Amino acid sequence: MSIRIAAIQHVGIPVSDLDSSVAFYRSLGFSEAMHATFAHPEGEGRVCMMKSGAVVMELYQFPASALAEIRGRSHGHIDHIAFDVEDIEAVFDELKARHFDIQEEAPVFLAFWDKGCRYFNILGPDGERLEFNQIIR
């Protein structure tokens, strides 16, 4: 099987103040496409997907007690690149069979978008995180 990546789905950026980051991206012409919360070991995090044309930026903020995790980065704040796929299970199985460095035990569900999404990450040769994501329709 050949992995078919449809498009870059989004670029994930951890931010220290979601509201100010949303305002910044809004000033660049992005609009808010989705808001949600997510579980983090330190509490609840918040996320906003910002969209301009086909470009989607995932801005997410960890709970206050975990913000040092973001501020401590020395090489920028791009966290991951996400690829849109049509069948998350098939892609997961294919990459697992090919012995890629998969970071999750199975695709993970998030209550993002209207019906949720499922994702998993692999690590590239320099530790870059590549996310495979299927929005449930």
The percentage of residues in the chain with a pLDDT greater than 70, rounded to a whole number, is: 91
Cβ-proximal residues to 127 (8 Å cutoff; 6+ apart), any chain: none
CATH of domain 7-135: 3.10.180.10
Query: What's residue 102's pLDDT?
Result: 95
Contacts of residue 4, defined as CB under 8 A and 6 or more positions apart, other chains included, come to: 85, 86
Q: How confident is the model at residue 64 (pLDDT cuts 50, 70, 90)?
A: confident
Report d(CA 104, CA 21) in Å as an integer. Answer: 28
Alpha carbon distance 96, 50 (integer Å): 31
Predicted confidence (pLDDT) at residue 1 exceeds the cutoff of 70 = no
Q: pLDDT tens digit string along 3-62?
A: 888 888 999 888 888 998 899 889 888 899 999 999 988 889 999 999 988 989 898 998
| Whole-number CA gyration radius for the chain | 15
Task: Examine the pLDDT at 112 and tell me if it is beyond 80.
Answer: yes
The mean of the pLDDT values for the chain is 88
Q: How confident is the model over 60-78, as a mean pLDDT? A: 72
